[in-house]
Chain A
Amino acid sequence: MRIKETDVRICTGTACFVMGGADLLLLVEELAERWEPRGITREMIEGCIHISGSPCIGHCRESGLRPPFLTIDGQLIGEATLEGVLAYLDASCLDQTV
């Protein structure tokens, strides 16, 4: 199975972290567990899904959107939850036809 190269940037600013962002740091572990039945190893995930932390990206100051924030290939996601991100990556990174 192919995994699409994806860039995930998790905001580790204090606001995001405190408002639920701490959970997002479990992303690799959770992905590894979730994709294991499809024969995807943690190494394969780390090779294709590039997860990094970023200092406050400034969105916590804007009204309208709520932390925690992360971007997936540049696209901003607010009020991010681990479950939501997992589902998003399922749909966007795995080649569903194989």
Chain B
Amino acid sequence: MLTQKNQYTYLRRELASKLLKLYRSGSLLEKIDRIPVDMIPKDQAYSRCCIYKDRAMIRSRLLSLMGVDLEQDDDEVSLLSTCAGRALQEPIAPLPVLTVISTGCSSCMTSQYRVTELCRGCLARPCMTNCPKDAITFVGNRAFIDTERCVNCGKCRDVCPFNAILYIPVPCEDVCPVGAIRKDLAGQVSIDRAACIDCGRCARACPFGAIVERSQILTVAGKLTGPDHVTALVAPSVDGQFPGTLSQILASISSLGFDSVIEVAEGAGKTVEAESKELVERMAQGEPFMTTSCCSAYLSCVRKHIPQLKDRVSHTRSPMSYAAEAARARRGDTFTVFIGPCIAKKQEGAADPHVDAVITFEELAACFLAWDIDVRETEELPGEPEQLPRGFAVAGGVARSVAAALPPALKIRTEQIEGLTKKNIALMKSWGTRPVDADLVEVMCCEDGCIGGPGCIVDARLSKRRF
């Protein structure tokens, strides 16, 4: 996967904060049409074919930040100010979460291995000997891969002593674990909605930034500056995403104008309680194993791709769902905003009657920038932070919490799926006939767990230290 330390990441964050800054200053409608031109001025070196295409891409990105479904609702003619006016007036339906900037797609064709001119046609020819499909022939003293036979195993590349064989990837397709990336004859990308589980990997893997998540920041900003009561539901993985302590981060969120800030870890407490009870019952009934249910991408994955595991998934609701319900119980008319590391939660949130909007940590950062909030300089909340199961944020944390909540005499075997990769999905499919040797399986779509989510700001290697 593309490292998140890259120019596109910073561009995304900059654009989101520019949009919100304009909104806050009251000049959004007046100035938004200038952003593409200001960011890509006449004399600037361009990254695509010309400055006009670069500007068009900025326009599309801004539209996605306003929540527009680019494939359905962009007529390519409307001014950004017109679209912004519309978005401010009534919130846009948030599904589908991911949308494609079609002009941005560089039309990568198919991933393949290719022999480069570094091939010297050596005597040993290990590529030929080690190819399991007899796909390599020598033409004019140079290796040649028969694409009809090649199965992309990569053995030839691994054994070439001259590094003469290269893998040419299609990044979006390669990271999609469920085959939801479609390419038309020209190589143009589209997303197969029936297969997509909203994990968001493609949106972070495409080096052209051609797949984007639709944002609700404008709606949230509107609520924060308006008269309504607004509640923030903050995922535990927020710790370490900003400089300063957890208490300072929560205080900063509150100073954006949230009337109430609730840690989703409170909901996690309920999840642990219900899930451990459920596990005891299922074990008593002799069921083979149970998997966790807090990861929305995993739930979609079971629904769409691993039906054989349907009965193995816990019926317990996610921490977000419990926390949102509690927020509504406290105040029926509050507008709830889940703030987390996750793109798939945007889909779960859209289906949950108690969740009104979902934004990522990256989008939260844009709010801090627009509101001019320096987290590390913000005063901590009064009192000590409560003891809550915040370990949910890290791979292994859910299983640990559930195991710890079981009756002391009950010892269970746990298994962990860390990362919904093609390989792990195939493994889980096999559990339909050969159950895994465990009582509880924790499944997290992202490597490292939620702290490795696509909406995070900080590299998981760094944020891990907080847990």
Contacts and interface: CB of A to CB of B under 8 A. Distances in A.
Is the A/B pair a real complex?
yes
Interface of A: 12-15, 17-20, 22-23, 25-26, 53, 55-56
B311 interface: no
Contact of B243 (A17, A19, A20, A23): A17
Given A12-B243, A53-B243, A53-B376, A18 B365 contact: yes
* Interface size bracket, B side: 20 to 34
B457 interface: yes
Which of B14, B376, B458, B459 counts the most chain A CB atoms within 10 A?
B376
B77 interface: no
A13 B10 contact: no
Contact of A17 (B5, B10, B242, B459): B242
Interface string B114-131: 000000000000000000
Contact of A19 (B14, B373, B376, B458): B14
B6 to A, nearest CB: 9
Contacts of B362: 18
B interface SS class? helix
B5 A23 contact: yes
A20 B369 contact: no
Contact of B377 (A18, A25, A55): A55
18 contacts: A12-B244, A12-B376, A14-B242, A14-B365, A14-B368, A14-B373, A17-B242, A17-B457, A19-B14, A20-B10, A22-B458, A23-B5, A23-B462, A25-B462, A53-B243, A53-B376, A55-B374, A56-B377
Q: Which 8 A-B pairs have the closest CB atoms?
A: A12-B243, A18-B365, A22-B458, A14-B368, A55-B377, A12-B376, A17-B243, A13-B374
A18 to B, nearest CB: 4
A26 B376 CA distance: 18
Contacts of B458: 22
Nearest to B241: A22
B191 to A, nearest CB: 28
Contact of B10 (A12, A19, A55): A19
A15 to B, nearest CB: 6
B317 interface: no
Contacts of B457: 17-18, 22
Nearest to B378: A14
A14 B375 contact: yes
A13 B457 CA distance: 14
A14 B5 contact: no
B375 to A, nearest CB: 6
Contacts of B13: 18-19
Given A14-B375, A17-B243, A56-B377, 18 more contacts: A12-B243, A13-B374, A14-B242, A14-B243, A14-B365, A14-B374, A17-B242, A18-B365, A18-B457, A19-B13, A22-B462, A23-B5, A23-B459, A25-B462, A53-B243, A53-B376, A55-B374, A56-B374
Nearest to B10: A19
Which of A13, A26, A55 counts the most chain B CB atoms within 10 A?
A13
A29 B373 CA distance: 29
A22 B10 CA distance: 12
A77 to B, nearest CB: 16
B251 to A, nearest CB: 13
Contacts of A20: 5, 10
Contact of B369 (A18, A22, A23): A18
A17 B249 CA distance: 13
